[in-house]
Structure 1
Amino acid sequence: MSITTSPSRTKVSIALLICESLIPLIGTEHGDQPKIFEDMMRKSFPKSQLSLDALDDVDYLTMDSYDVVHKMEYPSEEQIDGYDAVMCSGSAANAYADNVEWIRKLIAFTVHLARDHPRVKIFGFCFGHQIISLALGGTCVYNNGNWEIGPTKICLTDVGRVYLG
């Protein structure tokens, strides 16, 4: 992600594509998805890139959210070029359900991003990474009815242990 730094400021601009409403319990405790993602992103900046003043500076991160399910809203062409990244949230929907209009539109938008805006990074969370895979010509297959949510224990390969510790 391209990050512009000054002596006390780091600036990143992200478009968040919301693909699901939160269950009420999570929303009540943690806020809506834009707030959860923004909090997560703010906490992820390496401390070496931020002064203590910048940590509280609301200007170092801009995150705009778009409801791609109910409103089918997306950033305009002009807005896309102003973003460092586009993030696609998770969803209980099936990414491979190509008969669902909002999913078709989301895949087409992701194809457009990758093809026509290569400077803008694309990130996906769960459902979102499946959409990116489909948009880039990959596959997404049914998981025998097993829906994974929350932390899941995994066994890392030797390569995975090198990268993830």
Structure 2
Amino acid sequence: MSKAPNQDTDDDDDLGLPALPKGARNYMTPAGYARLRAELFGLIDDERPKVVEIVHWAASNGDRSENGDYIYGKKRLREIDRRIRFLTKRLELAEVVDPAVHHGSDQVFFGATVTYVEASGTERTVTILGIDEADSLQGQVSWVSPIARTLVKSREGDELRLVTPAGVLEIEVLQVSYPAPPGEQA
């Protein structure tokens, strides 16, 4: 049986988020994993049952072809189911890495917050997180991003070459920090 061209396929499950590199692990911080898991269970336990109830009620009203509650409810169900499939896959592939294990280290690994300066004197701070949890507006970058790949395994004081579409930038690592382990919060 073939699918109609407008129906969702498993290939579309990325919802615009970057794909994982082939064979790569889906590194996540404990907080990122907890957020995705909470979203998944919220969709399964709360949102989906409410939409199913609306669709059921709308379907019982008769003519479905002109029933907005039914049409939009079914569309929303497809969106919810698609997000549930996506989150389930990502959580199955997740490898939770607690950056607090590197607390006190001056070497850059997953979860580090790094301050660096460009040759132009511009100082920037980024936190290296998982693909599904990084938010560039918050100064967070994915561990597969060019800046993260350049910074990983460097140490405070290292001078590095960051390859960008605009050319090569010379940068120097100024500071590396990690969250404190639970119980050591200051």
TM-score, normalization: structure 1? Answer: 0.30
Task: Give the number of the structure whose alpha-carbon radius of gyration is greater.
Answer: 2
